[in-house]
């Protein structure tokens, strides 16, 4: 599991600062077994609240107006700042299940896939990103 933790640390160090900022309330955990209620063969899972839409999708009340920055994936695949406020930052935990990951490349792909979920992408969106 030490190799998996090291690979996860490498993924985190390669993320741009804006992704770190967007994931301020999301922790990444490398575990030997998935959380209770999760299929035993899962490689990774994000459990929590995904980042919620851009400012123009806000519900109109001012309670979340200063919730933080909202990001989206640009046409070239880079993360870009779309707006500030109006959305809600992601909050929760990304679990990477070491015993189900084949190698550091598998862990990296799984980590990026779950990070995309935290940033608001569904399965179709992560597939479109090649994750």
Average pLDDT over residues 60-80: 55
Tell me which residue of 14, 18, 13, 21 sits closest to 81, measured CA to CA.
Answer: 18
Given a cut of 80, whether residue 87 has pLDDT beyond it is: no
Given a cut of 90, whether residue 64 has pLDDT beyond it is: no
Given a cut of 70, whether residue 85 has pLDDT beyond it is: no
41 to 33, 44, 52, 78, 98: CA distances (angstroms): 9, 9, 28, 31, 11
Tell me the angle at which helices 2-14 and 104-118 cross, rounded to the nearest 10 degrees. Answer: 50
Q: Is the pTM of this model over 0.75?
A: no
* Region class of 120: left (phi > 0), else alpha (psi between -120 and 50), else beta: left
Choose the CATH number for 2-123 among 1.10.540, 2.60.40, 2.30.30, 3.30.2010: 3.30.2010
What residues does each domain of the chain span? 2-123
pLDDT tens for 32-47 read 999 989 999 999 999 9
Cβ(48)–Cβ(26) under 8 Å? Answer: yes
17 to 7, 37, 40, 81, 97: CA distances (angstroms): 18, 33, 33, 12, 25
């Amino acid at each position: 599991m030490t190799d998996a933790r090291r690979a996860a640390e490498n993924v985190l160090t390669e993320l741009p600062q804006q992704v770190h900022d967007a994931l301020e309330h999301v922790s990444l955990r490398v575990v030997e077994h998935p959380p209770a209620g999760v299929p035993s063969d899962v490689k990774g899972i994000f459990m929590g609240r995904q980042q919620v839409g851009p400012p123009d999708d806000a519900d109109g009340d001012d309670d979340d107006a200063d919730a933080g920055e909202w990001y989206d994936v640009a046409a070239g695949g880079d993360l870009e700042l779309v707006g500030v406020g109006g959305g809600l930052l992601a909050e929760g935990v990304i679990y990477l299940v070491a015993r189900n990951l084949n190698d550091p490349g598998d862990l990296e792909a799984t980590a990026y896939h779950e990070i995309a979920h935290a940033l608001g992408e569904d399965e179709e969106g992560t597939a479109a990103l090649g994750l």
